[in-house]
Amino acid sequence: MIITNVFFKDLKDIKYAAGYLTAAFEEGEDVFLLALRNVVQAQTGVASLAKKTKLNRENLYAMLSEKGNPRLKSIAMILEKLGLELSFKPKKASRKAA
């Protein structure tokens, strides 16, 4: 799994963290939430982020758990405070053999 192979010192680099979150998102929602928690812990810590976002610390921990169910607004706020943004791109079209 992607999460077990990452060192927190690497996640302090915002570009590395962005790539890590992108890869985790492609793996699935539960993997993404755990990866986001790893980035939060490496970048600022959950308690500090809770203060910055004005979200309850316990709720933030629950939100970023494997079974978490955060609202998109909450994820956007977390990403903003981390200095990241969510973006979308078209899927690469698969070419069919002629």
Per residue in 55-83, pLDDT tens? Answer: 899 999 999 888 888 999 999 999 999 99
| Three-state secondary structure call for residue 98 | coil
Instruction: Give the per-residue pLDDT at 3.
Output: 47
- Rounded distance between C-alpha atoms, residue 20 and residue 10, angstroms: 10
**Between 32 and 2, the higher pLDDT residue:** 32
Residues, the chain, total? 98
For the chain, the average pLDDT equals 86
Q: How many CB atoms lie within 10 A of CB 9?
A: 9
Q: Is the per-residue pLDDT at 25 higher than 80? A: yes
Give the global pTM: 0.81
Q: If 0-12 CB within 10 Å is exposed, 13-18 middle and 19+ buried, where does residue 61 land? A: middle
Q: What percent of the chain has pLDDT over 90?
A: 59
